[in-house]
Amino acid sequence: MSTQRYSVTPHPIETLLTWVKSGEIAIPEIQRPFVWEATKVRNLLDSLYQGYPVGYLIAWRNPTVKLKDGTSSIGKRILIDGQQRITALMAALLGREVLTKDYEIVRIRIAFHPQDARFEVANPAIRKDASWIYDVADVFKPSTSIFQLVSNYCAANTGVSQDAVFSSIERLLKIINNHVGVIELADDLDIETVTEIFIRVNSAGTELSQADFAMSKIAVNETYGGNLLRKTIDYFCHLAVAPEFLATIEKNDKAFAASEFLSQMRWLKDVNDDIYDPTYTDMLRVAFTSEFGRGKLQDLVALLSGRNFETKQFEESIAEKSFGKLKKGILSFINKTHFERITMILRSAGFVTSDLIGGRNAVNFAYIIYLRGRAEDIPAADLERLVRRWYAMSLLRGRYAGSPETAFDVDIRQIEGRGLASYAALVVENELPESFWTGMLPQVMDTSSSNSPYFLCYQAAQIKLGDKGFLSRDITVRDLVLNRSDVHHIYPKNHLKKQGLARGRYNQIANFVLAQSEVNIAIGDKSPETYFVELAEQCNGGKKKIRWYH
């Protein structure tokens, strides 16, 4: 019996473009930035003109869903590989506008030289040159008369063979008859299998995450507003990094600007805080886990498809309910009060810059805990303390460093069953007993990485306690961190080099302190037993050898 879980069928490009226009094939990235350079679009057309292969497309059919009236709806194909190529063809041949990586709507025009059978990205010089057809999309317009096009071209280029020009343009038109192989994956394949197939077939070896699949499922669903949810996620992440982007959204996406979502994120235009700039994966993890009580994004993909985990069937009512819950989770995530509160809690724990933030997933789960605590009506002061303690514990113990989805799933299910406060108290107590501080921590601190979670937490603790910089009278560690100060050595590097110590030894984090550069320069290569003696003498009225910095 065959175990083949896919089919491979060649289709003319014209058919594929028709399918995309009609919605038979859904391109989940169609509203996301088109990242190809115009030269790459030109190269694609040239390859097709020369008859070269342009790779396979991979489509994954949505499962057949049981509708409310008892009938079944066969799912659309979702294009999971080949989106940029199809978008490039629609832009170049059909004249469709694309959204660039700078979120600008532009037309990519590819020019064609019939005499040289050559393509080039259109530019002002080409526009003035009659030997070029400025935009190949004009050739493919249904209203275009090829006979008239050739006649006009030859009239503007005297001495050119009309037959040669006609032959060249006819060959251009035929590129939409070129066949491209479409690998269609079975609708019952799980994400891991689809990902494996994708990686093996895709020559670039690009990895698709479960968040990518979830975003695809969200984007292609217009029935329950998935397309707007997808934009909400994309736009929020971009606005968090570039607040000035708001004007671009309002100008280029009138429909979204008029929706309920943009009003919920306008507050970002006045924010210049980079402590937590979430990616779409971060947003999905937090919104999904906090709202659904599950930690694995493959479950979100299944639920958005309408999967009933008990009957193993797919039902429209489950898809509808899942999109509703996801919307609620996303709106909670982007809520101004919620988002500002989680960053405030991180700052209050001493993590005042993005450089001090450890693993992103530790922040994600801290936000999940905050949102769950709000839902459970835990008093604000208690919730803030709980989130701070959990976040510090997560960093120190590397709780979400290995397999974050598994850890998310375990923790959120325990929180569902036991309640947040009791479970959090139990975990923190078990993960950070007295023996951790006296036995384990000194051992794991044997590292030279300044990005070590232990060194990050040490700096955060100094900030929270209001510590001064090393040998500074007035300048605090907070001041130094906020001004991107350098990390200096208690035992100067050159001093230790002279002792024969290797880099991994003299850069131990136990030898690191936050100090002003002036202090570091004044110390020079002296050992602590030397410069501390000088400081002690100086403090007792002796000769000033090291200036006491403010």
Tell me the mean pLDDT in the region 91-105: 82
Q: Do 452 and 394 form a contact (C-beta atoms < 8 A)? A: no
Q: How many CB atoms lie within 10 A of CB 377?
A: 7
The reported pLDDT for the residue numbered 31 is 46
Percent of the chain with pLDDT over 70: 91
> Is the pLDDT at 340 greater than 90, yes or no?
yes
Condensed to tens digits (0 to 9), the pLDDT of residues 411-451 reads 999 999 999 999 999 999 999 999 999 888 888 888 877 78
> Rounded to an integer, what distance in angstroms lies between the CA atom of residue 287 and that of residue 97?
32
The reported pLDDT for the residue numbered 550 is 41
Alpha carbon dihedral 207, 208, 209, 210, in 10-degree steps, equals -150
The reported pLDDT for the residue numbered 32 is 58
> Is the pLDDT at 204 greater than 70, yes or no?
no
The reported pLDDT for the residue numbered 13 is 92
The reported pLDDT for the residue numbered 74 is 63
Q: Do 26 and 79 form a contact (C-beta atoms < 8 A)? A: yes
> Rounded to an integer, what distance in angstroms lies between the CA atom of residue 225 and that of residue 210?
20
Coil, strand, or helix at residue 317?
A: helix
> Rounded to an integer, what distance in angstroms lies between the CA atom of residue 217 and that of residue 288?
14
From residue 475, give the alpha-carbon distance in Å to each of 355, 382, 469.
19, 31, 6
> Rounded to an integer, what distance in angstroms lies between the CA atom of residue 433 and that of residue 438?
9
From residue 90, give the alpha-carbon distance in Å to each of 109, 322, 529.
11, 32, 72
> Is the pLDDT at 263 greater than 60, yes or no?
yes
Tokens of 3: 């175990």
> Is the pLDDT at 205 greater than 50, yes or no?
no
Q: How far apart are the first and last CA of the chain?
A: 80
What are the backbone dihedrals phi and psi of residue 445, each rounded to the nearest 5 degrees, phi first? -80, 0
Q: Which of 493, 532, 490 shows the shortest CA–CA distance to 511?
A: 490
Q: Do 523 and 459 form a contact (C-beta atoms < 8 A)? A: no
70 Ramachandran zone, left/alpha/beta (phi>0; psi -120 to 50): left
Q: pTM of the predicted model, to two decimals?
A: 0.79
Eight-state DSSP code of residue 374: H
Q: Which of 38-42, 283-287, 347-351, 399-403 has the lowest mean pLDDT?
A: 399-403
> Is the pLDDT at 64 greater than 80, yes or no?
no
Rounded to the nearest 10 degrees, the angle between the axes of helix 380-397 and helix 420-431 is 40
Condensed to tens digits (0 to 9), the pLDDT of residues 353-384 reads 888 887 789 999 999 999 999 999 999 999 99
Contacting residues for 349 by C-beta, under 8 A, at least 6 apart:
388, 391, 392, 460, 464
Cross-strand bridge partners of residue 513: 488
Condensed to tens digits (0 to 9), the pLDDT of residues 135-176 reads 999 999 999 999 999 999 999 998 899 999 999 999 999 999
> Rounded to an integer, what distance in angstroms lies between the CA atom of residue 423 and that of residue 416?
9
